[in-house]
A and B are shown apart, each in its own frame.
Chain A
């Protein structure tokens, strides 16, 4: 839990020695509380201060880094609802292969996982992890498949087996990949924690009930290993939903450390839509790693889009790249519209133009992701600015159209825009995007 400046001041030497750069210990404490300074800047900090502040600055959900560089991060969450601040690390999506699958099928799946790329609003999304499940009994074959998956896809793995022996073989075979061993039971936790630690992996824990699970996670942590992930055993959608929420709420609201870890879930539903329901539930409600039974681009693209939406930082206006967007199949004489680069504005305007059945060019200048009126009020959506942008991107050589439709809310910029774009006629469009369709039909046909 975060401490206030006054609480922190009580832990400091209170000598006002100024060696940290602040004039008083209180000023320094305030900076610490605002996370604008670090305790190590104080040369006289007591061990108690270090310990208390260290614990207080840890997020209630532990951050876990996976992959060779630890770049795939999970956890570190601080809120239950995205509007309270933001969600930090999005649910990782993994696709499963089994050691009993035909070798040709395994190769094809691994290649498909490696090659799958979804580009969405300027971001390139890939499958985050590969799950390797042992269904057979040969530890060496399981380890060989893990090695192959790691070498082919080069993304962290979820190694799934009920056998400590097999997990040990696989963990050693992919040492350095910072993968997840899944899953230790209260009985095997101690042995597997050693294997995970020795090979630099994270360990997933599971138990039939939350009570047994928290006892196990507390015990492993007390044993000196804290790189943990929790796999909840649930038997219905309602239980999945409730358990995910109970665990995260307890971790965040009550600062309850034994539940303060990311989660792991294997999607068990048969059928694409049933699998979607479980995965959507995990994405909306705090899922850490979600393992899909197979790679279906229709499912993965929908899940990745939902995940992008839920994990978008609501504190930042999201933006689309400033450029000229073709809507439909515009030609050199198609109409030209302009709007701002706030994503929601862009999507609504482009959608409405598309719905009208008219092909057009949509000019989107840089306006820092603000909506039309806000951008105009902030001076980021001025006639001169739009004119300059249109010249800079060479729209005048791309199209012969010399009419541009501006949003109705900024009718006042039309004079200035005509001045900065000699030869162009500025048309004032509707205030609301929803009226674009009627506008286009009435005015541009």
Chain B
């Protein structure tokens, strides 16, 4: 699966979501999580994002185990937040990984969290900011403006807001009705298979224009088109 994402769809990183370690979604152990991460590391040559969930008690243990077992792999541990950063940031520093600093659509909290992390002796180069987003039609405009403000403030010289930005259009889009409902029920929404790709592409490209540096995607067609758009934008080729 991970190999397919890299070889066929050109993924430059792979996000491994350890959702199964959530007590209500499989209750898998930290050891099982380590096994999954290691198997993906073995299968692909690209860097890994290790994505957790919001059940702090468990995810802290999981991230600790993964960080330790994969020491030196420079994983991107996704995520820490204002109310839960010490454990994960600590193991990231100890075992040579990066972290995603997530702030709830709020420039000030984003900055505060970066200050807290750098105070722990985390290097700025180890921090990727997640401004948090919803899918197209589900509050994306708030994130869009927060990202533009973060980027402008960062470019204006504020080092605590100058980091790269990560967003997860794939994960957000699969949750929404536009990704599931049939054309029969919503004729104005059009064909579901086309719509799903278009919804994720619109979410992702909009966020790219707002300043996203890393986008975690899920729809193969959206990935292909987004990658093509990025390459056209970067080198100016048609």
Contacts and interface: CB of A to CB of B under 8 A. Distances in A.
Our verdict on whether A and B bind, yes or no, reads: yes
A218 interface: no
A237 B232 contact: yes
A219 to B, nearest CB: 30
A24 B199 CA distance: 57
Given A119-B188, A272-B194, A351-B176, A312 B236 contact: no
Nearest to A296: B190
Nearest to A117: B188
A250 interface: no
Contacts of B225: 273-274, 276-277
Contacts of B54: 432, 434-435
Contact of B188 (A116, A239, A272): A116
Interface in B103-143: 134, 136-142
Of B148, B201, B229, B232, most buried by chain A (CB within 10 Å of CB) is B229
A1 to B, nearest CB: 21
A117 B186 CA distance: 11
21 contacts: A82-B141, A236-B238, A239-B236, A273-B197, A273-B222, A280-B206, A284-B206, A296-B190, A297-B189, A298-B192, A301-B195, A306-B136, A306-B140, A306-B206, A309-B137, A347-B139, A348-B134, A351-B175, A354-B175, A438-B55, A441-B24
B238 A351 contact: no
B238 A235 contact: yes
Given A238-B232, A351-B176, A301 B189 contact: yes
B221 interface: yes
Interface string A428-441: 00001011011001
Interface string A287-322: 000000000111111110110111010100000000
A120 B138 CA distance: 11
Contacts of A163: none
B205 A438 contact: no
A109 B157 CA distance: 52
Interface residues of B, number: 51
B198 A348 contact: no
B187 interface: yes
B191 interface: yes
B169 to A, nearest CB: 12
A297 B175 contact: no
A344 B190 contact: no
A225 interface: no
B149 interface: yes
Main secondary structure of the interface of B (DSSP, over half): helix
B134 A344 contact: yes
Interface of B: 24, 54-55, 134, 136-142, 144-145, 148-149, 152, 175-178, 183, 187-192, 194-195, 197-199, 201-202, 205-206, 209-210, 221-222, 224-225, 228-229, 232-238
A398 B189 CA distance: 30
Given A82-B144, A82-B145, 6 more contacts: A116-B188, A117-B188, A281-B205, A284-B206, A305-B137, A355-B175
Contacts of B228: 277
B138 A238 contact: no
A81 interface: yes
A54 B136 CA distance: 40
B136 A273 contact: no
Contacts of B202: 276, 280, 302-303, 305-306
Nearest to B55: A438
A297 B188 contact: yes
Main secondary structure of the interface of A (DSSP, over half): helix
Contacts of A238: 232-237
B198 A284 contact: no
Contacts of A235: 238
A343 B139 contact: yes
Given A236-B238, A344-B134, A437-B24, A296 B194 contact: yes
Given A238-B236, A273-B221, A284-B206, A347 B138 contact: yes
Contact of A314 (B141, B177, B197, B206): B141
Contacts of A305: 136-137, 178, 202
A437 B19 CA distance: 14
Nearest to A342: B139
B192 to A, nearest CB: 8
A83 interface: yes
A312 B141 contact: yes
Contacts of A314: 141, 145
A285 interface: yes
A348 B205 contact: no
A241 B233 contact: yes
A303 B206 CA distance: 11
A20 to B, nearest CB: 39
A102 B176 CA distance: 39
B134 A347 contact: yes
B194 A298 contact: yes
A399 interface: no
A47 to B, nearest CB: 41
Contacts of A117: 188
B207 to A, nearest CB: 10
- Nearest 9 interchain pairs by C-beta: A298-B190, A297-B190, A298-B195, A298-B194, A273-B225, A238-B236, A237-B232, A83-B145, A309-B141
Contact of B142 (A296, A297, A344, A438): A344
A337 to B, nearest CB: 18
Contact of B198 (A236, A276, A344): A276
A286 B148 CA distance: 15
B236 A236 contact: yes
Contacts of A297: 183, 187-191
B219 to A, nearest CB: 10
